[in-house]
Structure formats: C-alpha cells, structure tokens
Amino acid sequence: MHMHLPSVCRHALLLAALVPCVLPPACQAADDATSESLPFIFNGKDLTGWKVPPEPYWTVDSGTIIGQSDADKKTSMLYTEKSYGDVVFETEVRFRGEIDSGIVVRKPELQVQIGVSRSLQRDMTCSFYTNKYPEEAQAKRAAELFKLNDWNRIRVEAKGNTFTVWLNGEKVARYTSDGYSDPAPIGLQIHSGVLMKVEFRSLRALPL
C-alpha cells in the first residue's frame, strides 16, 4: 500500500533530513565535541602563535609548555596571538606542590583558577575568579576529581554569557555574566608571590 503525502509534508520531511548534514562542526556543544575534534593551538615544539612575555618564565620541552617562576616571583602571562569570542578551549595540566595559576578568556579577563588562591589560601582549581570567587561559580567537586601529581584535563567553554568548566570529563563549574563579552586572546598565568612550576600540554581551541 502506497501512502501519498501532501507536497508540503514531503518538503518538510526532506528539509528535516537535510538540515543535520549542513550544520557546521562548530555548532556542537562542548559536551559533544571530543578532544580529537578540537584543533591544536600549540605545535609541541616552540611558542609560535603565542605572545611571549619578557620574563623568562615560559619554555617548551618534550611537547609541553612549562611556566616556571624564579626568585623574583613576578606575575607573567602567556597569551595566544589569536583572539577568541565564543570558544571551547582544552588543555592537560600538571603541577606539584603549591601553585597559583589560571586560564583566562574574553575581555575583561575571566579567569579559571588552577591551584591555591592567594586571597583565600586554599585550592580553588577550576573555579571562576572575578576579583572574588562567586559561590555559584565554584568547582566544589574538583578536589575529588583531581589527580594529584598527574595530568588533569581541563576544558573551558565560553558561549554567549555562559562559561563552563569540565575537569577530567566531568562538568564542575558554570558561571553566567554579561560582563565578559569581548573577544580576546586565551591566556595562561603565573601569579606573583609564589615560586612555582606548572606544565600544559595538548592545548586545543575551537571557535564556536
């Protein structure tokens, strides 16, 4: 038995079949984008594509960006040359001992904390810092998910006015604010006042 659909229904079915095929990959949510689908923004050999600051704190060794302060304990930032608005950024991070580092996105800068907060004197890894740590933007499960002295995968998504962080595949923090709207380079931080070493590898970013 053959069913004859009105032409408008046939057109609607055809459109529904075609639409998923024409959506660009960048329309994926960060939850759905695999690590392998995110383009590398670090070549594993040198700091090409990054704005190197005057402090000799940033080096590359064995496919890893190393941020290491000296006795002067200065603040230092390593930024991408490219600016990003809506973006998903991912990296693997490793450190030992007490550090104060972070990942920044957008302008004005919104920071995802890595390590111990100088102001609170406690580990706030994967929480958002906005000159304070808003209660709703704190990654309260990070301690149970964090692998001590090992590589940890941190993913940050900036999409519209919503900012989300994943730690080792688990969503741990979300913050909503209209105050961080302008595109800007992605930055890695060494905070002043602490002698520290932090390592980053497999740095990837996908504009959304």
- pLDDT tens readout for residues 8-57: 444 443 434 443 433 333 334 456 678 888 999 999 999 999 999 999 99
Residue 22 main-chain phi, psi, to 5 deg: -105, 0
**Cβ partners under 8 Å of residue 73, min gap 6:** 192, 193, 194, 195
Number of domains in the chain: 1
CATH code of residue 109:
2.60.120.560
Q: Is residue 152 domain-resident?
A: yes
Domain that holds residue 100: 28-207
Nearest by Cα to 33 from 44, 25, 42, 41:
25
Q: Is residue 113 domain-resident?
A: yes
The pLDDT value given to residue 110: 98
Asked if the model's pLDDT at residue 96 lies above 50, the reply is yes
Q: Is residue 20 domain-resident?
A: no
Residues 111, 128: contact at Cβ < 8 Å? yes
Largest CA distance in the chain: 84
Q: Is residue 15 domain-resident?
A: no
**29 compared with 134, residue with greater pLDDT:** 134
The pLDDT value given to residue 33: 73
Confidence band, pLDDT 50/70/90 cuts, at residue 135: very high
pLDDT in tens, 106-120: 999 999 999 999 999
Asked if the model's pLDDT at residue 202 lies above 90, the reply is yes
Task: Give the mean pLDDT of the chain.
Answer: 88
The pLDDT value given to residue 32: 61
Find the mean pLDDT for residues 136-147: 97
CA distances from 82 to 14, 109, 136 (A): 40, 15, 30
Q: Which long-range contacts does 21-28 make (Cβ < 8 Å, 24+ apart)?
A: 26/206, 26/207, 26/208, 27/208
CA distances from 8 to 12, 132, 165 (A): 6, 56, 44
**Whole-angstrom distance, CA of residue 167 vs CA of residue 73:** 28
Q: Is residue 106 domain-resident?
A: yes
Q: Is residue 5 domain-resident?
A: no
The pLDDT value given to residue 36: 86
**Cβ partners under 8 Å of residue 175, min gap 6:** 110, 128, 130, 134, 136, 137, 162, 163, 164
pLDDT in tens, 53-76: 999 999 999 999 999 999 999 999
Asked if the model's pLDDT at residue 87 lies above 60, the reply is yes
Nearest by Cα to 55 from 37, 33, 73, 40:
73
Tokens standing for residue 64 = 């890893």
Find the mean pLDDT for residues 164-177: 98
Q: Is residue 163 domain-resident?
A: yes
Q: Is residue 105 domain-resident?
A: yes
Find the mean pLDDT for residues 86-104: 97
